[in-house]
Amino acid sequence: MVTILTATGNGSGVVYDEDGLIVTNEHVVRNATTVEVAFADGQRVPGTVLATDVVTDLALVEADRTGLPAAEFQRELPQIGELAIVIGSPLGFQNTVTAGIISGLHREIPGSANQSQALVDLIQTDAAISPGNSGGAVVDADGDVVGISEAYIPPQAGAVSLGFAIPSATVIDVVEQLREDGRAEHAFVGVEPARVTPEIADQLGLPDTEGVIVRSVIPGGPADEAGIAPGDVITAVDEEATTGPEDLLAALRNRDPGETVILSVRGVDGRERDVEVTLTERPPVSR
């Protein structure tokens, strides 16, 4: 467990290998090329930001130190009710530990699609996560990392103990791609999704607010090639209901470029149809 210090603030990180590779959140090191890495033994060393992935909000930092004890990352999802221990540097308090349980799996933060593509398919915990915990470890009773702290819903929003972490399986997949190629691949459908509000449903004469309305289509993209048009409503991906944009993003998170999916679509004429779409690789995303 380490603290990541930048010119604009601090976050947390986890030792990925003994040669100084640290995994953290992209938003912790955003706009930085160099950082300072503080260890539990009090030593501080320079760090270089090697690669970032905006889609999953993960980043790799190389610390100028070797012989480190690497964390064990659990590839399997934890069980609901299992012990969850959050380790990080909330508000700059280094090596802080909070505890709770795993509250849920495959969570999406409602409304997050308008802010970030990373806030989907997350682990939920009631262990306290605060500013500065970002990029730190969520570990189980055996000390294995089951997730990387990502976000929390603050009490001002009426929330109590709602924290979220990126599952370790996602972390391993993205980190291995970043360390090998400097970038990670993600499936791309080529639409700008939006929530169907009551106002939109009334304006378009839709029977309900279920589904994801296609605000725009990327010319020449997979959806465009498959005949999907602005105003269409995507109601399911491979028969899994999409009640909002977050569901659509979460469904794509588990697909690879080149895979074919079946989108259930309600057209602007009100007709229902199934559309076969072959996903491509997402174009580079930057902040």
Alpha helices in the chain (DSSP H): 26-29, 168-181, 198-204, 222-225, 245-253
**Phi, psi dihedral angles at 157 (to 5 degrees):** -85, 5
Q: How far apart are CA 118 and CA 26, in angstroms?
A: 10
**Token pair of 139, please?**
């570990």
Q: How far apart are CA 121 and CA 253, in angstroms?
A: 8
CA 112 to chain CA mean position, Å: 10
Is 27 among the catalytic positions? yes
Q: How far apart are CA 198 and CA 195, in angstroms?
A: 10
Please tell me which residue in 27, 103, 149, 232 is annotated as part of the active site.
27
Q: To which H or E segment does residue 192 belong? A: strand 191-195
CA atoms within 13 A on the CB side of 209: 10
**219 three-state secondary structure:** coil
Please tell me which residue in 57, 121, 140, 247 is annotated as part of the active site.
57
**How long, in residues, is the chain?**
287
**102 three-state secondary structure:** strand
Of 46, 40, 44, 47, residue with least CA distance to 62: 47
Please tell me which residue in 89, 116, 130, 134 is annotated as part of the active site.
134
Rg (CA), the chain: 20
CB 23, CB 137: distance < 8 Å: no
**Residue 43 has what DSSP assignment?**
-
By annotation, the residues acting in catalysis are 27, 57, 134
